[in-house]
Amino acid sequence: MSIPSQIGTAAAVRVAVDIGGTFTDIQVLDEDSGACFAHKVASRPDDPAAALIDGLQQAAERFGFDLSQVSMLIHGTTIATNAVLERKLPMGALVTTSGFEDVLEIGRHMRRDVYANRAESRSLLIPRSRRFGVVERIRADGCVECEPTPDELKVLANHIAECGAETLAICCLNAHVNSDHERAIAAAIATEMPTLPISMSSDISPEFREFERTSTTVLNALLMPVVGDYLACLENQLRGHGLMAPVYLVQSNGGVATPAVAASQPARLLLSGPSGGARAAEILAEVLGDKNLVAVDMGGTSYDVSLVQDGRIRLINLSEVDGCPVRLPMVEMRTIGAGGGSLATTDDGQSLRVGPHSAGADPGPACYGRGGDRPTVTDANCHLGRIDASHFLGGTMTLHPTVAARALKKDVAEPLGMDLDTAADGVLRVAVSHMASAIRLSLFEKGLDPADFALVSFGGASGLHACDTATDLNIRTVIFPRDPGTLSAWGMLWSDITHNISRSVLMPACEDSEHHLAPIIAAMTDQGHESLAADGIGASDHRIECELDLRYPGQAYEIAVPYGQEGGIGAALSAFHDAHQAQFSHCDETSPVDIVNVRMTAHGLLRKPAAAPAIAPTKVAQPNVRQVYLDGTWRDLLVYERQHLPDDDLIGPLIIEDPHSTLLIPTGWSLRLALAGEIIARYEGTEP
């Protein structure tokens, strides 16, 4: 709930902008008072920077500040993810050790359908004609066996120029141990083609496992022109409108990076926007004293699930984007195509499907009245009265229920032989089933019970489905944060600059290993301090954390555990056995353990203004009443404005309207206001 006051003309303002597929969310923080203000505008897929500028100008006018007052702009973006998903990527080339040109095609010999006669086609980002081998070899211990010759490198540069490459990835065998050859190749090509973007594996992902390292390097190279051009355009537009404050880009690890780092390592932005929501959930866990949360972010396009366990979000070091492995630290998250704009369709077998395809921002759901004629989840909610069509997005947008009904009738009700109300309700039931399945999988794969977690619901569309989803999972508590429609942007306000540094070591984990680890960790620590100093962060605001990737011999996966001065390798081994037991239901404390990678996280602490406390709601005499289709019938439901909620507990069914979202509290649920302004809904029945 935003504080209903204006920002002072002399106040410093911190702004976070999260550009999603349908809407661009903005959070404005008055650093003097700690008050937060939320704003939302339609995204512009054709020009994301223009939507950001439009939103900033509207927010400045609405909340009474000038863009010159902005002290910091923190920006979450889907520009990198969308470029990969839509394959809107430049022509790239790959240089690797001769004989390893086909690593991308060979992959891991893994099939999704193990009984198929043929393996599914692999997503190849660079064709064979633009993959070049160099006669060079560095051994696994870092010793040089064969160096590339200057003549060969000159011929290589000519080949790259002739193939029309617009960006280049370099990934040599064992470059994670010794990067000399990668740097020699890059220098030779840069001499001939000085403007060509070049990504080296030793910079972006210096870890063993050739396929994953190559895939990550290629993705990074292909994204460099995309993100670089976007950031240059954004900077020009911001400066042209008088915003001279530093800009930070949100990374997949939940931290932020300067534009220079983001432009050179854009693969770190692949989970940029959703990681802000996970960071917000981590903050809420501390504020509310509830350490186990399932955070769900339902926007217009996707449904993102992340976990807060024991008060911390979890990072993973290997993920996948549209079939392409990415070996970089990311917030662990499961994403499905279930948003407000997800399309409802029927197939030849007369089955109803919802998602994964979306109506997007343009034209959007049919009820937007922008030319869309295909039904979506939002259209179903609109037809069933769960959204106030005349006061959508705080009154800034009017919906068209008749258009929604026409689309639902044509594409859902008539093909399935249903009446319109039942068809619309079916769309929502299928969507809820998809959401519950995504959460269930995220918990069950870790041996966790949904009943031990509370559900944190945010995103513009999540509040309409959160309690039904929780009921499906036997979760009895749902938390609706303040400004749920822009919570991901709010979480970005409290981010710090983060650099992730890694190095493969491959040695036994024993007391003797501490002696071998010491110089490696010292060098990585120095690298972390140097990176933060280059970002302009003073030494007193540096915080360095170290982890070890450990495994039992022969395993093909690792578990990251903390490593520090207290307890040394013994504490790390104990943590590894405990984590292995928790994740896989077995461990062997008598077995030797291997150290695979050393990981360093360098945090540059940004100033954290104190958040303003929630103010008491302004009471009104009576809520409104609206006809809503619920539990198979039309009924009159009380509709409260969130800023006018009474102090007393309320019993569902009822609806709460927030400026940027709507909350549906079904039968059997009660709610109360938390001290920090969150709404806590609890299931009061004997069994959900």
3-state SS of 130-143 is HEEEECCEECCCCC
Q: pLDDT class for 1, splitting at 50, 70, 90? A: very low
Query: Coil, strand or helix: which one is 6?
Result: coil
Ranked by mean pLDDT, the top range of 314-318, 544-548, 606-610, 656-660 is 544-548
- The CA distances from residue 406 to 357, 401, 633, 635, 656, in Å, are 20, 9, 20, 22, 27
- Angstrom distance (rounded) from CA 639 to CA 386: 10
Residue 95 pLDDT greater than 70, yes or no? yes
Spell out where 2-136 has E strands: 13-19, 23-30, 36-42, 70-76, 92-97, 131-134
Measured in Å, how far apart are the chain's first and last C-alpha atoms? 29
Closest CA to 65 of 57, 54, 73: 57
User: Taking a C-beta distance cutoff of 8 angstroms, is the pair 153, 184 a contact?
Assistant: yes
Higher-confidence residue of 133 and 321: namely 133
Burial of 357 (0-12, 13-18, 19+ CB in 10 A): middle
585: left (phi over 0), alpha (psi -120 to 50) or beta: left
What confidence score (pLDDT) does residue 10 get?
Answer: 67
Residue labelled with tokens 């909620």 = 645
- The CA distances from residue 387 to 399, 433, 462, 502, 659, in Å, are 9, 21, 12, 48, 12
Residue 621 pLDDT greater than 60, yes or no? no
Residue labelled with tokens 């104990």 = 574
Residue labelled with tokens 């923080």 = 29
- Output the six-digit token pair for 103: 């690593």
What are the φ and ψ backbone dihedral angles of 614, each rounded to 5 degrees?
-70, 145
What are the φ and ψ backbone dihedral angles of 215, each rounded to 5 degrees?
-60, -45
Closest CA to 366 of 318, 395, 400: 400
User: Taking a C-beta distance cutoff of 8 angstroms, is the pair 269, 79 a contact?
Assistant: yes
User: Strands 13-19 and 70-76, how do they pair?
Assistant: parallel
Chain center to CA of 334 = 9
What are the φ and ψ backbone dihedral angles of 522, each rounded to 5 degrees?
-60, -45
Closest CA to 558 of 327, 392, 337: 327
Q: pLDDT class for 618, splitting at 50, 70, 90? A: low
pLDDT over 70 percentage in the chain: 96
Residue 660 pLDDT greater than 90, yes or no? no
Burial of 245 (0-12, 13-18, 19+ CB in 10 A): middle
Closest CA to 18 of 610, 491, 659: 491
- Angstrom distance (rounded) from CA 563 to CA 518: 11
- The CA distances from residue 321 to 72, 310, 318, in Å, are 30, 28, 10
Spell out where 310-419 has E strands: 312-313, 315-316, 319-321, 324-326, 330-331, 334-336, 342-346, 352-358
Q: Which amino acid is at 539?
A: A
- The CA distances from residue 551 to 64, 328, 558, 585, 596, in Å, are 55, 18, 5, 15, 7
Q: Which amino acid is at 94?
A: L
Torsion of CA 229, 235, 240, 245, to 10 degrees: 180
CB count within 10 Å of CB 356 equals: 16
What confidence score (pLDDT) does residue 619 get?
Answer: 57
Residue 13 pLDDT greater than 60, yes or no? yes
- Angstrom distance (rounded) from CA 293 to CA 491: 15
Q: Which amino acid is at 271?
A: L
User: Taking a C-beta distance cutoff of 8 angstroms, is the pair 72, 606 a contact?
Assistant: yes
Q: In sequence order, which ranges of 289-400 are alpha helices (DSSP H)?
A: 377-383
- The average confidence (pLDDT) of the chain is 90
**Angle, in degrees to the nearest 10, between helices 420-444 and 466-473:** 60
What are the φ and ψ backbone dihedral angles of 253, each rounded to 5 degrees?
-85, 0
User: Taking a C-beta distance cutoff of 8 angstroms, is the pair 156, 134 a contact?
Assistant: yes
Query: What DSSP element (H or E) covers 168?
Result: strand 167-171
* 3-state per-residue secondary structure call for 623-645: CEEEEEEECCEEEEEEEEEHHHC
Higher-confidence residue of 494 and 114: namely 494
Residue 63 pLDDT greater than 50, yes or no? yes
> pLDDT tens, 14-56?
999 998 777 889 999 998 888 889 998 888 878 888 889 999 9
- Output the six-digit token pair for 407: 């689309």
- Angstrom distance (rounded) from CA 7 to CA 19: 23
- Angstrom distance (rounded) from CA 135 to CA 152: 8
Q: pLDDT class for 615, splitting at 50, 70, 90? A: low
- Angstrom distance (rounded) from CA 526 to CA 529: 5
* 3-state per-residue secondary structure call for 441-501: HHHHCCCCCHHHCEEEEECCCHHHCHHHHHHHHCCCEEEECCCHHHHHHHHHCCCCEEEEE
What confidence score (pLDDT) does residue 475 get?
Answer: 96
- Angstrom distance (rounded) from CA 684 to CA 246: 48
Query: Coil, strand or helix: which one is 103?
Result: helix
- Angstrom distance (rounded) from CA 39 to CA 481: 15
Which of 65-69, 74-78, 365-369, 394-398 bottoms out in mean pLDDT, i.e. has the lowest?
394-398
The whole model's pTM is what?
Answer: 0.86
pLDDT, average across residues 123-143: 93
- Angstrom distance (rounded) from CA 681 to CA 661: 16
Query: Coil, strand or helix: which one is 350?
Result: coil
Q: pLDDT class for 148, splitting at 50, 70, 90? A: very high
pLDDT over 90 percentage in the chain: 69
pLDDT, average across residues 475-487: 93
Query: What DSSP element (H or E) covers 532?
Result: helix 511-534
User: Taking a C-beta distance cutoff of 8 angstroms, is the pair 651, 640 a contact?
Assistant: no
> pLDDT tens, 227-252?
999 999 999 999 999 899 999 999 99
